[in-house]
Amino acid sequence: MNAPSPVKLTLVTASVILCWAYSPIGIHVALHGYSPGQLALARFLIASLFMAGVALVVRIERPRLRDLPWLLVLGFFGIFLHHLCLNQGQQWVTAAASSVLAQSVPLFSVLVAFVCLKERVSGWRWGCVLLGLTGVLVVIWGERGLGEIDPRGLLILLAAISWSVYFVIQKHYSRRYSPLTTVCYTVWSGTLLLGVYLPGLPAVVVQAPLSANLAVLVLGVFPSALAYLAWAYVLRHVEVSRASVALYLVPPVAMVMAATMLGEQVSMRVVMGGLIVLTSVGAISLEGRWRRQPLLAHGEHTQAVAIGIQGGKGVAKIHLDG
């Protein structure tokens, strides 16, 4: 297969950034007509139908019977809990702040791996986690002040923690299924769990304003489906370490979109907190690159595949050595 031109790769990457940056803006608009649970279900019903069409064309693997319970667990943390917390929390914070807080997923992934998997965490990573949590506090301070923040807005951090748990569990199945297969079954199982919000949803769709319905449609097709496929395309032609740098543009682009489309005023303290969070996340990835250099020097080859599910946004990395 011929390698795509740099211009084509740049355009595809830019489309992914725009899709995932739109996510908090779309959620903000859709919440004017939907409850958090109904919004999550409507969004992923659309995404599930879209992914079903993709699965018919690509012909993904069938899940093993023994893996079905764990695929439901992936759907619970990756879709059900994550998006419920995200939608609930965004009722109390701005779209710009939500995009920054959701970017803190790698920080909590370190904590989850340390507590649940007893993984060793270097001093460098502990420093990155502390720096990132400081950035989170700065974002909260910049929003309303530490004494005035609505605790319900902190549900976005719970959404990030839920996403982190999803990554830890997903890592266990990285060698069993392709990334696309894992994403499809995660989306479908999460949508199944969200079915508890189905009663009353048709009436809500009819009564919701046109802007809310359009926002749900865009959320289901673009951030929840097309962006994943576009990101997978980028990762087939670009190293993960290089491609992932582009994802750091999601929060600043989301801030610009929130200011333009929603009229939000982003304070300098929120911008400062966002820079601190992104710096800490970037520093964590740098440590991984340093550790791989000795291996590459001895002629070993490492292939990495990454795929993300954005609601906030996240990236799971699958390393295949050999």
pLDDT digits 0-9 by tens, 263-320: 887 777 778 877 887 787 777 766 655 555 544 444 433 333 334 444 444 443 433 3
State the residue for tokens 């600043």: 252
Residues 6 or more apart in contact with residue 224 via CB below 8 angstroms = 43, 44, 46, 47, 50, 187, 309, 310, 311
d(CA 187, CA 181): 10
pLDDT of amino acid 309: 44
User: Distance of CA 45 to CAs 74, 191, 228, Å?
Assistant: 17, 6, 16
Residue 269 token pair: 């303290």
Local confidence band at 2 (pLDDT 50, 70, 90 cut-offs) = low
Neighbouring-strand partners of residue 319: 304
Per-range mean pLDDT, top range of 75-89, 168-182, 220-234: 75-89
Higher pLDDT, 39 or 174: 39
d(CA 47, CA 173): 22
pLDDT of amino acid 144: 58
Q: Mean pLDDT across the stretch 239-257?
A: 75
d(CA 39, CA 204): 10
Whether the predicted pLDDT of 259 surpasses 70? yes
Cβ count within 10 A of residue 245: 11
Residues 6 or more apart in contact with residue 219 via CB below 8 angstroms = 22, 23, 26, 27, 30, 43, 46
Residue 6 token pair: 């740099």
Domain positions in the chain are: 6-321
CA torsion sign for 133, 235, 241, 289 is positive
Helix or strand (DSSP H, E) at 173? none
Q: Are 212 and 32 a contacting pair, CB within 8 Å?
A: yes
Helix, strand, coil tally for the chain in percent (to 5)? 75, 5, 20
Local confidence band at 236 (pLDDT 50, 70, 90 cut-offs) = confident
Residues 6 or more apart in contact with residue 214 via CB below 8 angstroms = none
d(CA 15, CA 17): 5
Q: Which amino acid, one-letter code, is at 119?
A: E
pLDDT of amino acid 305: 37
d(CA 281, CA 277): 6
Residue 125 token pair: 């990573």
pLDDT of amino acid 313: 47
pTM, 2 dp: 0.77
